Structure 1
Amino acid sequence: MSAMEDSTEKLKGVHISSLDEDDEVEEVVEVEEVVEEEEEGDDSEEGEPVTLGFLEKTKNHWSVSRQVFPSKAGGVPAWLDPVNLPSGRSCVCDICEEPLQFLLQVYAPITEKESTFHRTLFVFMCPSMSCLLRDQHEQWKRGQEKPSRSVKVFRCQLPCSNPFYSSEAPRNDGTDNPSGSGVSLYNWCGTWKGDKVCSGCKRTKYCSHKHQVVHWRSGHKIDCQQLSLLVDSSSVSNALWPEYEMINDDESEYDAEVSDYNIPPNSLVSRNKMDNTMNSLLDIFEVSSDKKCWASFQQCIARAPEQVLR
């Protein structure tokens, strides 16, 4: 199994534990007061239309380019503002201090306001399962002044009139081009600003010393002298997650009763949880409001099990 496949399999195996399960953990770290905010959001969701995100293989390379304002997962980010990128400690995991890896981005404009005519949310995470689990447990604990996070979300927004894009809507036919160029990115990860240069070939740019070490050990040590003779190098890390385009749908289209025959085998909710037990979960979890909320969430996503975003 390749490193990328192994990383993907580990990601699929992340277990979100309940509060009761966390009570049994010997070393539980800290939490922010994000839980209450999310619960309030769940209550207000009932009367609001909900948009779901589904992943599809990209059919055209331009469909995930920044000039068409894509929503996507995996690969490298299509930065909305290609100049003012996150830097410094914002780019690394607060726990292991390794560079974060791009997970997904969502184009979510608020066109009623001029300053948010273009708006994209970028999600990055540490590929280390131990960091993700520690982060999860920290979030259950309150009163943390400086939380350590292995998952970070960056928001970027631009007005309609900006130096990077036309004020006209993209044609989405492969002919769209950005109005302005961006900063040079690190050749290998294609994610962060490449403001450091290899002292050997003088061509390969790096975002951090740690990625430079990993790239050197993974092959640049051999290629370095040859690259100095080439016009350009297009090698990228094989640790990047596979790239998908995110397609949005209205949840109302999935309001029909969930039946066993249309549940895909790789859905977020397993087939054996879609039986009569699902209908009685809310009654079983009456004692705990947290469990009742979780059961309600499971029931909601059962309508469209392949959703990755809501």
Structure 2
Amino acid sequence: MDAGLNGDSMEKLKGVRITSLDDDDDDDFEGQENEEEQEPTLEEEEDDDDDEEEEPVTLGFVEKPKHSWSLLRQLFPSKAGGVPAWLDPVNVPSGRSCACDICGNPLQFLLQVYAPISEKESTFHRTLFLFMCPKMSCLRRYQHEQWKCRSKNSSRSVKVFRCQLPHLNPFYSSEAPRLDGTDKPSRSGVALCNWCGTWKGDQFCSSCKKARYCSQQHQVVHRKINCQQLSLSSQLPNSSSSSGETTSLEIIKAASNALWLEYEIINEDESELHAEMSDDKAYDKPLISKKRTDDSMMSLVDCFKGDSDRKCWASFQERIAKAPEQVLRYCRNANAKPLWPTSSGRPSKDDIPNCSYCGSSSDFEFQVLPQLLYYFGVKNDDVDSLDWATIVVYTCRASCEASVAYKQEFAWVQL
């Protein structure tokens, strides 16, 4: 999503009208949040709005991939749902990094954004990976915990990892991808969990001795559907190579019910898109009915407790309505600010932790909008359904070169 991307890569970052943003914060933390959250001053609100309007923003839309190979890691995709296309396929995160700090279950892959920085050789390839626990109860807890993320005792149910590689690296050719289905990585990756296809499969099934798991939780859930399914899939064409690297075909057959639907993320410049839409009515037919949208919006407005929230929401709606199917907003500029749905629940500068590897400030890079949940088929029909107003990702300003392959960044959730 960087200006230094080639044309083919820039095509990889279309699709939903805003879905329900019902604020289901649980009462357990309501009093504590009110104490900890501070309303921004009017000057701060105006500064945020001015900065956001001035910075060029890239919008992300989702669509089904055109080819079965479109989202393979050697093509450096931006994608949502399914399994991650790890940039470094060997040194993937492990241990506690893979799990929700609140319930202990393995995190689920939400999306990844390919965002190289052309000014640095070490960031010739650069991808940001976003994971979260699918339990709404954990997301509510994290909303409370994020206020103390500058301390080392906070618990996270949403995690971001940054991985970057120089032009010359052991995993990919230095030549540009041909994008015809013949591109291959220079090196295979580590064997992944046969259930989630996300984390290292460093535990073997005690029954079939073939299936690999990242955790005891996934071994237990897989036993319920019969581990012979994995034994059969391993005999299919395109199954695991001799190196043990698990392929998408196996994972999809074994864990299709456990993963969110997979999409390619396509990007469009916001200003150019607005100019096109003034003449083109292609977006006049939303994927979600206007009645459902209006009902959802009114239910949220009724929850607002002050004029600042209403003003912020009106500004948010006006901006989003110009391209209502956007699921992601990206802008890695020094003055860039996220587009907040409400004024309450926004972090101050002191609430955003510095980079834990080099100490640099963490800056806004992109945010995820709730429209993505519609594509994933998540229905907000009860209080336990997953939902958010926005997820804002902050990354190291220096995009530092710490020794660890996947550096953990920070996500702020507004419910």
CA distance in 1, matches of 2:305, 2:36: 25
Q: Which residue matches 2:389?
A: none
Q: Which residue matches 2:324?
A: 305
CA distance in 1, matches of 2:315, 2:128: 26
**TM-score, length basis structure 1:** 0.77
Q: Which residue matches 1:93?
A: 100
Q: Which residue matches 1:236?
A: 254
Is this contact kept in 1: 2:100–2:133, CA < 8 A?
yes
Inter-CA distance 14–95: structure 2 relative to 1 (3 Å threshold): farther
- How far apart are residue 32 of structure 1 and its match? 9.5
Residues 102-153 of structure 1: CA deviation (Å, up to 9, x unaligned): 1111101101111111010111111112112222244467875522221111
126-135 vs 98-107, which deviates more?
126-135
Q: Which residue matches 2:159?
A: 152
Residues 23-58 of structure 1: CA deviation (Å, up to 9, x unaligned): x9343466999x98x977765332221100000011
**Structure 2: segments with no counterpart, 5+ residues:** 1-18, 241-249, 330-415
Calculate the aligned-residue CA RMSD, in Å. 3.8
Is this contact kept in 2: 1:32–1:143, CA < 8 A?
no
Matches within 5 A, 1:261-280: 262=284, 264-266=286-288, 271-272=293-294
CA distance in 1, matches of 2:36, 2:187: 39
Q: Does 1:109 align with 2:112?
A: no
SS in 1 for 2:197: coil
Is this contact kept in 1: 2:22–2:296, CA < 8 A?
no
73-82 vs 134-143, which deviates more?
134-143
- How far apart are residue 287 of structure 1 and its match? 4.4
SS in 2 for 1:63: coil
Q: Does 1:254 align with 2:273?
A: yes
One of 13, 25, 42 as aligned partner of 2:27: 25
Is this contact kept in 2: 1:203–1:227, CA < 8 A?
no
Q: Return the letter of the residue paired with 2:254.
A: V
Q: Does 1:196 align with 2:198?
A: no
Q: Which residue matches 1:46?
A: 53
Residues 276-309 of structure 1: CA deviation (Å, up to 9, x unaligned): x9xxx9xx99942x55334322221111111000
CA distance in 2, matches of 1:261, 1:87: 42
Q: Which has the higher helix share?
A: 1
CA distance in 2, matches of 1:236, 1:125: 21
One of 124, 131, 139 as aligned partner of 2:138: 131
CA distance in 2, matches of 1:304, 1:119: 27
CA distance in 2, matches of 1:120, 1:110: 10
Q: Which runs of 4+ in 1 moved over 4 A?
A: 29-33, 38-43, 140-145, 226-233, 256-261, 267-271, 284-287
Is this contact kept in 1: 2:192–2:199, CA < 8 A?
yes
Residues 247-293 of structure 1: CA deviation (Å, up to 9, x unaligned): 00010133258899815042899653899x9xxx9xx99942x5533
Is this contact kept in 1: 2:193–2:201, CA < 8 A?
yes
CA distance in 1, matches of 2:170, 2:291: 44
Inter-CA distance 14–94: structure 2 relative to 1 (3 Å threshold): farther
CA distance in 2, matches of 1:261, 1:73: 21
Inter-CA distance 293–41: structure 2 relative to 1 (3 Å threshold): same
CA distance in 2, matches of 1:250, 1:160: 26
- How far apart are residue 230 of structure 1 and its match? 5.3
Inter-CA distance 14–48: structure 2 relative to 1 (3 Å threshold): closer
Q: Does 1:187 align with 2:194?
A: yes
One of 64, 70, 75 as aligned partner of 1:57: 64
SS in 2 for 1:62: coil
SS in 1 for 2:100: coil
Q: Which residue matches 1:292?
A: 311
Residues 152-190 of structure 1: CA deviation (Å, up to 9, x unaligned): 111111111100011121111111111111111112211
Q: Return the letter of the residue paired with 2:136.
A: M
- How far apart are residue 62 of structure 1 and its match? 1.0
